């Protein structure tokens, strides 16, 4: 039985179009005790959920089930897996978000 080329190409195309669905979101929670900025948005003190899309670098910051801000970042490779989820910041300005057990972090451009 011979597979025909058009059928094979259609199957390959369908698999390629579904590839973004294979990517998963990384999620973690952070609590801030003072004003913190990500991008151009100020985050008030409180608990937040950070959800990063592994394929696009888009980060959603949620509070009480509502999206507070969406920020575009760039994935960077780490030397080792991050032991904890943590925020790297300078003067309460978030520069990077690391996710526990991952060898990559999402980095954000500085806003001056």
Structural domain boundaries of the chain?
23-107
Can you tell me the mean pLDDT for 33-50? 96
What is the pLDDT confidence band of residue 10, given thresholds at 50, 70 and 90? low
**What pLDDT score was predicted for residue 1?**
46
The predicted model gives 80-104 an average pLDDT of 95
Closest to 58 (Cα-Cα) out of 85, 102, 18, 97: 97
- What is the rounded CA–CA span in Å between residue 67 and residue 65? 7
Q: How far apart are CA 12 and CA 41, in angstroms?
A: 42
Least confident window among 15-19, 65-69, 85-89, 100-104: 15-19
pTM as predicted: 0.76
Q: Is 75 exposed, middle or buried (0-12, 13-18, 19+ CB in 10 A)?
A: middle
């Amino acid at each position: 039985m011979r597979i025909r080329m058009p059928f094979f190409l259609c199957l390959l195309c369908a698999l390629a179009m579904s590839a973004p669905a294979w990517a998963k979101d990384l999620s973690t929670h952070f609590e801030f005790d003072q004003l913190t900025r990500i991008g151009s948005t100020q985050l008030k003190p409180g608990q937040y959920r950070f959800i990063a899309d592994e394929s696009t670098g888009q980060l959603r910051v949620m509070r009480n089930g509502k999206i507070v801000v969406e920020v575009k970042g760039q994935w960077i490779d780490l030397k080792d897996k991050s032991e904890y989820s943590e925020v790297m910041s300078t003067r309460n300005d978030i520069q990077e978000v690391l996710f526990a057990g991952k060898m990559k972090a999402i980095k954000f451009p500085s806003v001056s």
